[in-house]
């Protein structure tokens, strides 16, 4: 938060001197609503300069009235009121609140210069200061997920000393602060419910895939896969695959995805590129370990909230799509269908990987079912026949999955010598039937992750522009047969895909 009283224009400095010379009672009167200093000059901690009349903007408000404090909130009002400039400066708003609001002089003997009445305390989150100045006091702290200390107040909560000309702007900004905190608070509550569902569901997979040796998971990866769940659902190719997803969950997922694209530093705060040096959790202890890790999960969510509430430019980018300004609530219910799909996908793919299952791509493109069936010759000399869920078997202990969106086909096979467990075809059918994972994400995700050279690192990565990359949620190894041509561009003169056999040189 960059603020400096030295950035005040001369007129504002003169008015500050007037205030300094006045007694506390006189100063209070000057800041009042009748003949107030704010209404005369614009010197107000929430606004340095008053906006000049803007006729074109007024014409736009014929259908959406953003200045009517009694009207319902509207998602168009962040843009119509120019709130990004109001906070950061620019346009008709001059220096903006960020630079025009002074920092309290804690060494001053003048109580009005050091008590936070008209200034921000040193090291104080900008949102905490903003809410206090907007409401004329109080200790609302929205820098953590805690509804007890960050709750939208009743109507008419704005300070009577606040200039009428900026009340709509202030009301919308404080609404966004509360909406963002409420969103992440309810997101955390929904995640804690989802973690139990995922650990219970996945037990069936382990019973089928790994009946002897307990599969183990990286706890950091588990928590990352859980907490990325809503952004995971925001990906169009995934959202359409998840059945029963509520309209609220779809809306929240889309809003979060847009916000993270606009403010990628928020995603990096939520999911920093971690290390595999984390506690190892065995499947038998999964439910207990996840249940005991709620504090770690809260810390991950709070990292994002604290960034937004302390770094104004990041907050502005996160909310300027306007969705947090609308009348529709983005509060998530305690249970959100599909919120644990990213976690399930990670656990399923990891269980597959630890038990010798691999995917080998057939690039195609395969545009139709017939294209796929005609490309695979089984051991008996016949082509495969596509079954349920775009899966067919070629009679050699492997199965083939066709991803229609990418036009790729993948051979799914087990590399353990003498494997006598469930067949590849049946395993993929059971994966879909039991909602262990989404096949398209398992196969395409692993391919894309490997192609980018990220396989084996963090399960959440970031694209060159800082946007979120969740391809590595799938840890199913994608490998190519011995001697096969690399299907993608080389990385450092090497094919990013390993080979199915470790004995290709023999």
Rounded CA gap, 371 and 76, in Å?
48
Rounded CA gap, 200 and 434, in Å?
11
Region of 414 on the Ramachandran plot (φ > 0 left; ψ -120 to 50 alpha; else beta) = beta
The predicted structure's pLDDT at residue 240: 53
The predicted structure's pLDDT at residue 211: 67
The predicted structure's pLDDT at residue 395: 60
- Mean pLDDT, consecutive 10-residue stretches, the chain (506 aa), reads 32 30 27 30 31 39 78 93 93 83 78 71 90 85 83 78 90 94 92 79 78 76 89 70 68 88 90 70 79 86 94 95 90 84 90 91 82 66 73 77 88 83 88 89 91 84 82 90 85 86 60
The predicted structure's pLDDT at residue 377: 57
Contact 214, 357 (CB under 8 A): no
Residues ≥6 apart with Cβ < 8 Å to 125: 1, 141, 142, 143, 306, 309, 310
The predicted structure's pLDDT at residue 81: 94
Contact 158, 170 (CB under 8 A): yes
DSSP per position, 1-19 = ----GGGS-HHHHHHHHHH
Question: Quick check: bond before 365 cis, omega within 30?
Answer: yes
What's the N-to-C CA distance of the chain in angstroms?
A: 63
Rounded CA gap, 295 and 305, in Å?
15
Cβ count near 364 (within 10 Å): 15
Q: Which two structure tokens, joined as six digits, stand for 199?
A: 């650990």
Residue in 440, 437, 475, 438 with CA at minimum distance from that of residue 455: 475
Rounded CA gap, 401 and 399, in Å?
7
Contact 226, 200 (CB under 8 A): no
Residue in 170, 125, 119 with CA at minimum distance from that of residue 150: 125
Token look-up 């050091």 returns: 114
Cβ count near 410 (within 10 Å): 25
Length of the chain: 506
Q: Which two structure tokens, joined as six digits, stand for 127?
A: 């949102």
């Amino acid at each position: 938060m960059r603020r400096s009283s030295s950035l005040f224009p001369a007129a504002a400095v003169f008015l500050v001197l007037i205030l300094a010379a006045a007694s506390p009672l006189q100063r209070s009167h000057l800041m009042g609503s009748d003949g107030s200093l704010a209404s005369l000059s614009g010197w107000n901690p929430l606004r340095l300069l008053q906006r000049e009349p803007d006729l074109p903007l007024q014409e736009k408000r014929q259908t959406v009235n953003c200045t009517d404090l009694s009207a319902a909130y509207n998602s168009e009002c962040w843009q119509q009121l120019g709130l990004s400039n109001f906070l950061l400066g620019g346009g008709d708003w001059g220096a903006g609140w960020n630079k025009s609001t002074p920092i309290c002089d804690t060494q001053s003997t003048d109580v009005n210069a050091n008590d936070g009445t008209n200034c921000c305390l040193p090291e104080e989150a900008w949102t905490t200061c903003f809410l206090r100045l907007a409401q004329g006091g109080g200790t609302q702290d929205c820098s953590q997920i805690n509804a007890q200390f960050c709750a939208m107040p009743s109507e008419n909560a704005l300070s009577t000393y606040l200039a009428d000309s900026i009340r709509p702007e202030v009301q919308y900004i404080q609404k966004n602060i509360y909406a963002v905190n409420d969103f992440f608070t309810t997101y955390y509550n929904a995640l804690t419910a989802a973690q139990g569902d995922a650990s219970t569901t996945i037990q069936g997979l382990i019973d089928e895939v790994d009946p002897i040796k307990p599969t183990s998971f990286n706890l950091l990866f588990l928590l990352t896969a859980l907490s990325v769940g809503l952004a995971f659902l925001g990906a169009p190719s995934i959202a359409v695959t998840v059945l029963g997803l509520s309209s609220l969950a779809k809306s929240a997922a889309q809003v979060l995805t847009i916000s993270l694209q606009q403010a990628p530093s928020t995603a990096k705060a939520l999911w920093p590129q971690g290390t595999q040096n984390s506690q190892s959790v065995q499947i038998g202890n999964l439910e207990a370990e996840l249940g005991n890790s709620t504090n770690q999960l809260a810390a991950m969510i709070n990292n994002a909230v604290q960034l937004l509430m302390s770094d104004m430019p990041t907050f502005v980018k996160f909310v300027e799509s306007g969705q947090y300004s609308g009348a529709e609530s983005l509060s998530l219910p305690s249970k959100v269908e599909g919120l644990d799909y990213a976690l399930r996908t990670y656990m399923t793919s990891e269980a597959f990987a630890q038990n010798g299952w691999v995917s080998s791509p057939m690039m195609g493109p395969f545009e139709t079912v017939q294209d796929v069936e005609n490309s695979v010759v089984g051991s008996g000399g016949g082509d495969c026949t596509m079954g349920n869920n775009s899966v067919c078997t070629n009679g050699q202990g492997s199965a083939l999955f066709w991803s229609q969106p990418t036009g790729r086909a993948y051979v799914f096979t087990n590399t353990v010598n003498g494997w006598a467990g469930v067949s590849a075809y049946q395993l993929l059918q059971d994966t879909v039937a039991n909602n262990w994972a989404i096949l398209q994400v398992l196969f395409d995700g692993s391919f894309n992750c490997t192609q980018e050279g990220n396989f084996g690192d963090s399960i959440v990565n970031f694209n060159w522009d800082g946007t979120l990359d969740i391809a590595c949620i799938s840890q199913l190894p994608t490998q190519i047969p011995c001697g096969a041509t690399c299907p993608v561009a080389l990385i450092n003169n090497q094919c990013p895909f390993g080979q199915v056999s470790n004995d290709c040189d023999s």
